[in-house]
Amino acid sequence: MKAYLWLPLACLIGYLIGSWGAQDELRAFRSHARDVKQNAVAKPGGFDAFAQMVKIPESARRSRRPRPDRPKAPLPSIAVTNKIATNKVATKQAPVPPPAAKEKSDVVASTNAAPQRLSPEDLRARIEEAQDLWRTRVDVARAQWKTKLKLEGEAEKAFDAALQEMNERLYDSVAALAGLLEGRDSMTPELGLRLVGETTTILAETYDKIGACAAPGLREQVSTMQMVDFIDPGVAEPLIDVQGKLENFQGPGRRTR
Protein backbone atom coordinates (compact mmCIF):
# COMPACT_ATOMS: atom_id res chain seq x y z
CA MET A 1 0.00 0.00 0.00
CA LYS A 2 2.91 2.31 0.67
CA ALA A 3 3.73 2.22 -3.05
CA TYR A 4 0.78 4.51 -3.71
CA LEU A 5 2.51 7.20 -1.70
CA TRP A 6 5.22 7.44 -4.37
CA LEU A 7 2.82 7.95 -7.29
CA PRO A 8 2.52 11.76 -6.97
CA LEU A 9 6.29 12.12 -6.78
CA ALA A 10 6.78 9.84 -9.81
CA CYS A 11 4.23 11.83 -11.79
CA LEU A 12 5.97 15.09 -10.87
CA ILE A 13 9.37 13.73 -11.94
CA GLY A 14 7.91 12.49 -15.24
CA TYR A 15 6.32 15.87 -15.90
CA LEU A 16 9.58 17.70 -15.24
CA ILE A 17 11.58 15.38 -17.51
CA GLY A 18 9.02 15.76 -20.31
CA SER A 19 9.00 19.52 -19.87
CA TRP A 20 12.78 19.72 -20.09
CA GLY A 21 12.76 17.64 -23.28
CA ALA A 22 10.11 19.82 -24.89
CA GLN A 23 12.04 22.96 -23.98
CA ASP A 24 15.21 21.53 -25.52
CA GLU A 25 13.33 20.76 -28.73
CA LEU A 26 11.84 24.26 -28.75
CA ARG A 27 15.24 25.87 -28.26
CA ALA A 28 16.72 23.73 -31.04
CA PHE A 29 13.87 24.67 -33.37
CA ARG A 30 14.27 28.38 -32.62
CA SER A 31 18.03 28.16 -33.15
CA HIS A 32 17.53 26.42 -36.51
CA ALA A 33 14.97 29.01 -37.63
CA ARG A 34 17.34 31.81 -36.64
CA ASP A 35 20.20 30.24 -38.61
CA VAL A 36 17.99 29.80 -41.69
CA LYS A 37 16.89 33.43 -41.49
CA GLN A 38 20.47 34.67 -41.16
CA ASN A 39 21.62 32.56 -44.09
CA ALA A 40 18.74 33.82 -46.22
CA VAL A 41 19.70 37.42 -45.46
CA ALA A 42 23.36 36.75 -46.19
CA LYS A 43 22.71 35.38 -49.67
CA PRO A 44 22.91 37.84 -52.56
CA GLY A 45 19.56 38.74 -54.07
CA GLY A 46 19.59 39.45 -57.81
CA PHE A 47 22.74 37.55 -58.66
CA ASP A 48 21.71 34.57 -56.52
CA ALA A 49 18.40 34.33 -58.39
CA PHE A 50 20.24 34.57 -61.71
CA ALA A 51 22.75 31.90 -60.66
CA GLN A 52 19.89 29.57 -59.75
CA MET A 53 18.28 30.07 -63.16
CA VAL A 54 21.57 29.41 -64.94
CA LYS A 55 22.15 26.47 -62.55
CA ILE A 56 25.52 27.66 -61.31
CA PRO A 57 26.28 25.96 -57.96
CA GLU A 58 27.12 27.99 -54.86
CA SER A 59 30.52 26.29 -54.88
CA ALA A 60 32.21 23.72 -57.09
CA ARG A 61 32.66 20.20 -55.74
CA ARG A 62 36.43 20.53 -55.88
CA SER A 63 39.15 22.97 -56.85
CA ARG A 64 40.25 22.84 -60.48
CA ARG A 65 42.79 24.28 -62.86
CA PRO A 66 41.67 27.02 -65.27
CA ARG A 67 40.33 25.51 -68.48
CA PRO A 68 42.18 26.42 -71.71
CA ASP A 69 40.41 28.61 -74.28
CA ARG A 70 39.16 25.56 -76.17
CA PRO A 71 37.25 23.00 -74.07
CA LYS A 72 38.24 19.33 -74.24
CA ALA A 73 34.81 18.18 -75.41
CA PRO A 74 32.81 20.18 -77.98
CA LEU A 75 29.92 22.19 -76.62
CA PRO A 76 26.46 21.93 -78.21
CA SER A 77 25.73 24.25 -81.09
CA ILE A 78 23.40 26.31 -78.89
CA ALA A 79 26.19 27.08 -76.41
CA VAL A 80 27.92 30.40 -75.92
CA THR A 81 31.40 28.97 -76.31
CA ASN A 82 34.61 30.47 -74.98
CA LYS A 83 35.50 31.29 -78.57
CA ILE A 84 32.45 33.54 -78.94
CA ALA A 85 33.15 35.21 -75.60
CA THR A 86 36.81 35.78 -76.49
CA ASN A 87 35.93 37.33 -79.84
CA LYS A 88 33.47 39.73 -78.24
CA VAL A 89 35.96 40.85 -75.63
CA ALA A 90 38.75 41.19 -78.21
CA THR A 91 36.70 43.62 -80.32
CA LYS A 92 36.36 45.97 -77.34
CA GLN A 93 40.04 45.99 -76.33
CA ALA A 94 42.91 47.79 -78.04
CA PRO A 95 45.66 45.56 -79.47
CA VAL A 96 48.49 44.91 -77.03
CA PRO A 97 52.02 45.56 -78.40
CA PRO A 98 54.35 42.53 -78.46
CA PRO A 99 56.78 42.24 -75.52
CA ALA A 100 60.34 43.45 -75.90
CA ALA A 101 63.07 40.96 -76.78
CA LYS A 102 64.54 41.05 -73.29
CA GLU A 103 61.16 40.13 -71.83
CA LYS A 104 60.57 37.05 -74.02
CA SER A 105 62.22 34.70 -71.54
CA ASP A 106 59.91 35.94 -68.80
CA VAL A 107 56.88 35.45 -71.04
CA VAL A 108 57.92 31.88 -71.90
CA ALA A 109 58.55 31.10 -68.24
CA SER A 110 55.16 32.41 -67.18
CA THR A 111 53.47 30.48 -69.99
CA ASN A 112 55.12 27.21 -69.03
CA ALA A 113 54.28 27.65 -65.36
CA ALA A 114 51.46 25.46 -64.09
CA PRO A 115 48.22 27.48 -63.71
CA GLN A 116 47.11 28.08 -60.17
CA ARG A 117 44.15 25.97 -59.07
CA LEU A 118 40.84 27.75 -58.64
CA SER A 119 39.06 27.50 -55.31
CA PRO A 120 35.57 25.90 -55.34
CA GLU A 121 34.10 29.33 -54.52
CA ASP A 122 35.67 30.97 -57.57
CA LEU A 123 33.02 31.88 -60.14
CA ARG A 124 35.04 30.44 -63.02
CA ALA A 125 35.29 27.05 -61.30
CA ARG A 126 31.55 27.12 -60.59
CA ILE A 127 30.70 27.98 -64.20
CA GLU A 128 32.96 25.27 -65.61
CA GLU A 129 31.40 22.64 -63.36
CA ALA A 130 27.91 23.79 -64.37
CA GLN A 131 28.89 23.62 -68.05
CA ASP A 132 30.20 20.08 -67.66
CA LEU A 133 26.81 18.96 -66.31
CA TRP A 134 24.85 21.01 -68.85
CA ARG A 135 26.83 19.64 -71.78
CA THR A 136 25.80 16.06 -70.98
CA ARG A 137 22.10 16.84 -70.64
CA VAL A 138 21.15 19.56 -73.09
CA ASP A 139 21.47 17.52 -76.29
CA VAL A 140 19.13 14.87 -74.86
CA ALA A 141 16.59 17.50 -73.81
CA ARG A 142 16.78 19.21 -77.18
CA ALA A 143 16.20 15.95 -79.08
CA GLN A 144 13.24 15.09 -76.87
CA TRP A 145 11.57 18.44 -77.45
CA LYS A 146 12.09 18.27 -81.20
CA THR A 147 10.19 14.99 -81.16
CA LYS A 148 7.41 16.31 -78.92
CA LEU A 149 6.93 19.41 -81.06
CA LYS A 150 7.21 17.44 -84.34
CA LEU A 151 9.98 19.69 -85.66
CA GLU A 152 11.51 18.89 -89.03
CA GLY A 153 13.46 20.74 -91.70
CA GLU A 154 13.24 24.53 -91.41
CA ALA A 155 11.22 24.31 -88.20
CA GLU A 156 14.01 22.30 -86.57
CA LYS A 157 16.59 24.88 -87.67
CA ALA A 158 14.40 27.67 -86.30
CA PHE A 159 14.21 25.85 -82.97
CA ASP A 160 18.01 25.64 -82.70
CA ALA A 161 18.40 29.25 -83.86
CA ALA A 162 15.99 30.48 -81.17
CA LEU A 163 17.97 28.73 -78.43
CA GLN A 164 21.27 30.00 -79.84
CA GLU A 165 19.95 33.56 -79.98
CA MET A 166 18.66 33.24 -76.41
CA ASN A 167 22.11 32.34 -75.09
CA GLU A 168 23.81 35.07 -77.10
CA ARG A 169 21.37 37.70 -75.81
CA LEU A 170 21.86 36.50 -72.25
CA TYR A 171 25.62 36.74 -72.67
CA ASP A 172 25.31 40.29 -74.04
CA SER A 173 23.05 41.28 -71.15
CA VAL A 174 25.50 39.94 -68.56
CA ALA A 175 28.44 41.56 -70.38
CA ALA A 176 26.66 44.94 -70.25
CA LEU A 177 26.07 44.48 -66.52
CA ALA A 178 29.74 43.58 -65.98
CA GLY A 179 30.72 46.74 -67.85
CA LEU A 180 28.59 48.84 -65.51
CA LEU A 181 30.06 47.10 -62.47
CA GLU A 182 33.60 47.94 -63.53
CA GLY A 183 32.93 51.60 -62.74
CA ARG A 184 31.23 50.92 -59.39
CA ASP A 185 32.40 49.81 -55.99
CA SER A 186 29.76 47.09 -55.62
CA MET A 187 26.58 45.60 -56.99
CA THR A 188 23.40 47.61 -56.40
CA PRO A 189 19.77 46.46 -55.96
CA GLU A 190 18.87 48.16 -59.24
CA LEU A 191 21.46 46.24 -61.22
CA GLY A 192 20.37 43.01 -59.53
CA LEU A 193 16.75 43.56 -60.53
CA ARG A 194 17.76 44.49 -64.07
CA LEU A 195 19.80 41.31 -64.39
CA VAL A 196 16.89 39.11 -63.32
CA GLY A 197 14.35 41.16 -65.26
CA GLU A 198 16.23 41.08 -68.56
CA THR A 199 16.88 37.36 -68.13
CA THR A 200 13.20 36.54 -67.67
CA THR A 201 12.25 38.79 -70.59
CA ILE A 202 14.66 36.99 -72.91
CA LEU A 203 13.34 33.60 -71.79
CA ALA A 204 9.73 34.69 -72.30
CA GLU A 205 10.46 35.92 -75.83
CA THR A 206 12.19 32.62 -76.60
CA TYR A 207 8.96 30.79 -75.74
CA ASP A 208 7.19 32.85 -78.42
CA LYS A 209 9.87 32.14 -81.03
CA ILE A 210 9.79 28.40 -80.38
CA GLY A 211 5.99 28.46 -80.33
CA ALA A 212 6.02 30.02 -83.79
CA CYS A 213 8.05 27.16 -85.26
CA ALA A 214 6.17 24.34 -83.49
CA ALA A 215 3.57 22.24 -85.22
CA PRO A 216 0.01 23.63 -85.21
CA GLY A 217 -1.86 22.99 -81.98
CA LEU A 218 1.30 22.41 -79.91
CA ARG A 219 1.79 25.95 -78.56
CA GLU A 220 0.46 24.86 -75.18
CA GLN A 221 3.04 22.09 -75.16
CA VAL A 222 5.78 24.69 -75.69
CA SER A 223 4.70 26.49 -72.51
CA THR A 224 5.61 23.41 -70.46
CA MET A 225 9.26 23.53 -71.53
CA GLN A 226 11.82 24.21 -68.82
CA MET A 227 13.60 26.91 -70.80
CA VAL A 228 16.29 27.28 -68.12
CA ASP A 229 17.51 23.79 -69.07
CA PHE A 230 18.79 25.25 -72.35
CA ILE A 231 20.74 28.16 -70.82
CA ASP A 232 24.47 27.76 -71.25
CA PRO A 233 26.06 28.56 -67.84
CA GLY A 234 28.85 30.19 -69.86
CA VAL A 235 26.62 33.27 -70.29
CA ALA A 236 27.83 34.30 -66.81
CA GLU A 237 31.50 34.41 -67.88
CA PRO A 238 31.64 38.25 -68.12
CA LEU A 239 31.02 38.41 -64.36
CA ILE A 240 34.19 36.48 -63.53
CA ASP A 241 36.38 39.60 -63.55
CA VAL A 242 33.96 41.51 -61.27
CA GLN A 243 32.90 38.66 -58.98
CA GLY A 244 34.44 40.42 -55.98
CA LYS A 245 31.82 43.14 -56.31
CA LEU A 246 29.01 40.58 -56.06
CA GLU A 247 30.02 39.19 -52.68
CA ASN A 248 28.57 41.93 -50.46
CA PHE A 249 25.41 42.48 -52.49
CA GLN A 250 22.33 41.73 -50.39
CA GLY A 251 19.59 42.44 -52.91
CA PRO A 252 16.64 44.83 -52.66
CA GLY A 253 15.10 45.23 -49.23
CA ARG A 254 17.94 43.43 -47.45
CA ARG A 255 20.39 44.79 -44.94
CA THR A 256 24.14 44.57 -45.44
CA ARG A 257 25.76 42.55 -42.72
Q: What is the pTM of this model?
A: 0.67
pLDDT at 26: 55
**Which one, of 236, 246, 251, lies nearest residue 125 by Cα?**
236
Per residue in 192-222, pLDDT tens?
889 999 999 999 999 999 999 998 899 999 9
d(CA 130, CA 55): 7
pLDDT: is 24 or 107 the higher one?
Answer: 24
Residue spans per domain, the chain: 118-249
Helix axes 154-182 and 82-92, enclosed angle (nearest 10): 50
Q: What is the pLDDT of residue 136?
A: 87
pLDDT reading at 230 higher than 70: yes
Of the candidates 228, 95, 243, 121, the one whose C-alpha atom is nearest the C-alpha of residue 178 is 243
CA 94 to chain centroid = 31
pLDDT tens-digit profile of 120-130? 678 888 899 99
Mean residue pLDDT of the chain comes to 75
